[in-house]
Amino acid sequence: MAFENGTASNYLDLLAKIVTFASANGWTVLEQSSTQVYMRGAGASGLDEIYAGIRAYEVTASNRYNFELYGSWGYVAGKTYNSMPMAAGPMSGKYVYTYLWNSEIPYWLSVTGRRIICVAKVNTVYQHIHLGFINPPATNNQYPYPLLIGGCGSTDTYNYATTSDVTAYWAYNGSTGSGNLSLPGGGWGKISTDGSSATLVSLNSWSPIHAKKSNIITCPDDTYMLFPIYVLNTDFPEIYGQIDGLFQISGYNNASENTLTIDGVEYVVFQDIHRATYGVYCAMRCN
């Protein structure tokens, strides 16, 4: 796993920095421009083919400088990003977004050959990105392509100042975040703040302390516990997999950008966009 913390000059520079760091840590650029990239991750074995990308767009009059996040089951040169294998059809118009701005953006990047996780600070809010595989409780034959594309919203007309319940990061436990997951039997499932689509399986993110998450504080010795985050089906008791490198953590006496060392491993803490109650914090692994 590779980790980087830095500051981008604006949203386009953030895109460039994500691409540069991912390219050095298991990802190959297939197509790239100043506003768009399509990449392939090599996975843990170096032999996987994990397809994901980012399209940056701006609407200056609405203060929108955002990323549209997408993924597919394959790559065909010359096709548009939304017409790649399994990126069209039921996924048309159901993409995931992260809301940025055209000023300096502190960022934190965690990259493996299987996935890219990025947190970006925009003004006083924290925007989240996940591109790549989760870790399923299954063999590769049973679940060959557990691709999660995660962001902070399902609508392209929002901006970073949209802080109502229609935006939430993709791992917002026990509520609705924003993400698309490629399912074991084919097709997609959706985590969405804007409601479920009849054409997509309804998903949620969860942790073992879901029902008590807002009441969890520290351990008796004032250390923090880490809780795994899972993606599951909201209608049936099916767990599709665990997020790699990200955990739920209590917000008690805690704050975004805090660094903690737990069992010799360093983590950095972040809140869910604008939310700052005990139950909405996560910890990104740094080493």
110-128 pLDDT, tens digit per residue, is 999 999 999 999 999 999 9
In a domain, 21, yes or no: yes
86-105 pLDDT, tens digit per residue, is 765 556 667 889 999 999 99
Beta strands in 112-224 (DSSP E): 115-122, 125-133, 147-150, 179-182, 188-191, 201-206
In a domain, 78, yes or no: yes
Task: Give the model's pLDDT for residue 139.
Answer: 93
218-249 pLDDT, tens digit per residue, is 999 999 999 999 998 877 778 999 999 999 99
31-60 pLDDT, tens digit per residue, is 999 999 999 999 998 999 999 999 999 999
In a domain, 272, yes or no: no
Number of separate domains in the chain: 1
pLDDT, greater one: 145 or 171: 145
Task: Give the model's pLDDT for residue 213.
Answer: 66
Interval 193-205 mean pLDDT: 66
Report the side by side order of strands in the sheet with 27-32. Answer: 27-32, 36-41, 50-59, 64-72, 96-100
Beta strands in 60-168 (DSSP E): 64-72, 96-100, 105-111, 115-122, 125-133, 147-150
State the residue range of the domain holding 27.
2-202
